[in-house]
Structure 1
Amino acid sequence: MAGIKDLNILLSNIEPILDERDFVFCFFPSLDWEQISELTPIGIFHEKEGITLIIDQEDAVNRDIGYQSVYKLITLNVHSSLDAVGLTAAFSTKLAEKNISANVVAAYYHDHIFVPREKAEQALSAILELQK
């Protein structure tokens, strides 16, 4: 099924959902797929410097994996097209107005925004303002 491209439709149906879990971004200079699967990351990105995993903070603590900051995940529960124009700009601008950093992952069906744990409720409210 194709995602929505129209920015007005996307914004009016944005439906952000705040995940209750805490997430961290961890970096590994090298890692094999067996190690990765044991950590059950919700995000993986391979850069020239190594591999970044987004994992549950509890998993990082239990496995003594270092991290710098803790994030909450807000998922936009609208099926956005990967070709949609302006959605990321709209919510990132709104969050920037509130001095909230955003780490964005666009997946096939939804956009996922990682925000600092202590600003998660404020970020959720800010994104909901876009629906009005």
Structure 2
Amino acid sequence: MLAETDLPTLLADLRPRLHGGAFCFVAAEDAAGLDAAASVREAEGWSWLVPVARAEAAGLPFDGRFRWITLEVHSALGAVGLTAAVATRLAAAGIAANVIAGRLHDHVLVPEARAEEAAALLEPAQPPGGQAIQSPSTASSGGAKAARLPPASSVGRTPPSSSPSAPRP
């Protein structure tokens, strides 16, 4: 299978998969026994993405509990705009997104408390009045190939019943 580079196609086929369990980032010299899922070498030392249970068992401090969403679409490492589109979509709902690129897929770590909402926001559903995640080129041309997603305000929230600026039926 060839990796996809076309942004509208990538967005239409994200297929977000929410993994079980909570993850965290820890600083340690090595990850022996931590069941590390990812790592990055920073100037200050190694950061490891590990299951929270492993970090707690090892007595390692960490900030935040995250859930892992894999975007199952086979995205090319050279694809332009996918990370920006996904992060912008989640940011519109006030959800932090920490993105890790793998060879075949992109992975998004989101706060544990909002993981279900984040995964739903990335589903390419087509509700009435849905908003699209669009590439800059499709946004200006009407977004013919853009994935339709529910408005951020409609996922996991009840919209206000009356607003001075909202049109009335």
1:69-80 paired onto structure 2 within 5 Å: 69-80=64-75
Quote the residue 2:136 is aligned against: none
| Mapped partners of 1:105, 1:58: distance in 2 | 21
Structure 2: runs of 5 or more not aligned: 125-132, 134-146, 149-169
Residue deviations 1:17-53 (CA, integer Å, cap 9, x gap): 000110000113xx1xxx4242220011001111100
- Give the secondary structure class of the aligned counterpart of 2:87: helix
Q: Deviations over 1:67-107 (max 9, x none)?
A: 11000000000110000011111111100100000100001
The answer to which structure has the higher helix fraction is 1
Query: 1:84 corresponds to which residue?
Result: 79
Structure 2 residue identity aligned to 1:78: V
Q: Provide the rounded CA distance (Å) in 2 between the counterparts of 1:2 and 1:106.
A: 17
Q: Percent identity?
A: 35
Specify the code of the residue in structure 1 equivalent to 2:33.
E
Alignment of 1:91-102 (within 5 A): 91-102=86-97
Question: Rg larger in 1 or in 2?
Answer: 2
Q: What residue is the counterpart of 2:8 in the other structure? A: 8
Structure 1 unaligned runs (5+)?
Answer: none
Q: Provide the rounded CA distance (Å) in 2 between the counterparts of 1:47 and 1:107.
A: 18
3-state SS of paired residue (1:53):
strand
Q: How does 1:1-132 map to 2 (within 5 A)?
A: 2-28=2-28, 31=29, 35-129=30-124, 130=133, 131-132=147-148
For 1:52 and 1:107, how far apart are their aligned partners in 2? 16
Specify which structure has the bigger relative contact order, considering alpha-carbon pairs within 8 angstroms and separated by 6 or more residues.
1
Aligned length: 127
Q: CA RMSD in A?
A: 1.2
Amino acid at match of 2:44: E
User: TM-score scaled to structure 2, two decimals?
Assistant: 0.72
